[in-house]
Structure formats: C-alpha cells, structure tokens
Amino acid sequence: MDFSSRWFVNDDGTNNGDLKHLKTRSIVPVDLNAFLFWNAKIIAEFYALGGNLTKAAEFEARATQIANGIHACLWHEDLGTWLDYDLINGRRRNYFVPTNLSPLWTKAFNTANEAVITDKVLRYIDSQKIDSYPGGVPNTLANTGEQWDYPNVWAPMQYMLIAGLDGLRDQRAKDLARSWATRWVHSNYIAYNETHAMFEKYNCEELGGHGGGGEYEVQIGFGWSNGVIIEFLDKYGDVLSAPGSSSHGLKPFSAFFVATVALFGTILMRIFG
C-alpha cells in the first residue's frame, strides 16, 4: 500500500492532508507486525520439519513476543479492532483500513479468546458500515484522491479480509466472508463483461466500477486481481449465488455459474495463453 491517508499525519495529528503529510516511518502498522508474526511461525515450522528443534523454539518464542506486542499496543477492546499507532503523537490511529483486521488472517492473536474477539470484530465491522458498499470494502473511508483511499477497492485487501473472516470458527463470520466473496466475483464479472479487462483496483460505490485517482491511470491486467478471483472461484464456486437469487448454491447450468466459469477460463488463457 503506497500513497494513502493511512500515512498522513497532519499538524493536528489527524489523517487530513496530502502527500506533504506522509509520515510512514512514524506509524506502527498493524499488517507489517501481523506478517512478521506469521513469518516467524513459518520459519519455526520449517526448522521443526528439518529437525532443528532449538531454532524452532527460538522462532516460536519470537512469534509469541510479536503477538504479545500486537495485543498490547495495537488491539483496542473498546473498538473491537487493531489500529495503527502514531509515534509522533503517541496515540492510536482510529481510522478504518482493511489492514486493521489483518491479524485475523495471520492468526496473530490469542486463539483461546477467538469467540470474544470475533464478537467484537463483527461489531466493529457493523459500526464502520463497511458491509454497505456494493462494489466491495473500500481501502479507507477518506476520499483524498489518492489511489489507496476511498472509493478504491483492492483485490489483496478483499482477500485478506475474506480469508481472515472465513478462518474464524463462527458461522456469522463465515457467512459474511462468503457474502463479500460473492459480491467481489460479481463485481469483477460485470466489469470484465463490459470492458473485457480485469483492473488493478475497483470502485466500492458501483458494482463493476473500476477505480481511479492517484498518480497514473487505472491499470488493466492485473496479477493480483486475477489471482484473487481464481482463488474465490475455487473456494466458493459451489456456494456462490447470483445476486437477487434465493438459492445458496449454483445450479450446474445457471447463468451465473456459466459466467464465472467463462471468466475463469478467460483469465487462465490471458495468463498462460
């Protein structure tokens, strides 16, 4: 994630401003720490597979240390979410970004408290009204004109949110994940059907709308958009529902099923053809 109000720290400590207010080195990001936790877990697993239990224990300890730090510094019980931390002003950055919920994906939390965390996170999602956008979950709620801000929607962020929710042992979270995946597949298909292109970013306000803003024209292609749509079709293809349908599964020859399979095939042809 590059230019975004996520990295703006104005003189008043808010995220109002422009590129002159970028303070990336003064913000402790939730996702970076969640990824460091996961990396430590993976390294520990590889050491264990290789029989080096001493190094495996060392990296397990590092993972635990990082997870404890994430909980102590970035988790907020009152809000039900993790938040970036502003080192300049010594306070939390209380702004929605999909990366706030990245610890769900990497499991960088105490899984013994999963039920409590799930309840709080679902209430947080409801409070931010991020389920209300037809084109997907926006990257922030600040409309600055930067490409990683509202109303742009990015495939990797949708994947991280959906995979994180689906990984929870709560049917409400899993149902929300499936709903968001269905919305994303449908939006991608509409855009592709109208333009014969997959885009790097989309528009949360419009089902099938592509994104804009930033320092260049919206790009087509596009690696991570292709990867995410293939992943969702693979995981949810047997339970996706066409918008407006009362069915929770696709009949073999339904129009939506044919459309998604056609899109899948076209993507593969563009990648490997």
Active site residues: 2, 200
CA distance 260 to 30: 34
CB neighbourhood size of 180 (10 A): 21
Other Cβ atoms closer than 10 A to 93: 24
Q: Helix 155-166 and helix 223-236: axis angle, to 10°?
A: 30
SS3 82: strand
CA distances from 204 to 127, 130, 261 (A): 17, 10, 24
CA–CA dist 40, 138 (Å, integer): 30
- What CA–CA distance (Å, rounded) separates 95 from 98? 10
Residue partners of 7: CB distance under 8 A and separation at least 6? 22, 23, 24, 27
Residues 112-139: b if buried by 16+ CB within 10 A, e if exposed: eebeebbebbbebbeebebeebebbbbb
List residues bridging with 130 in a β-sheet: none
Contact indicator for 60, 44 with CB cutoff of 8 Å = yes
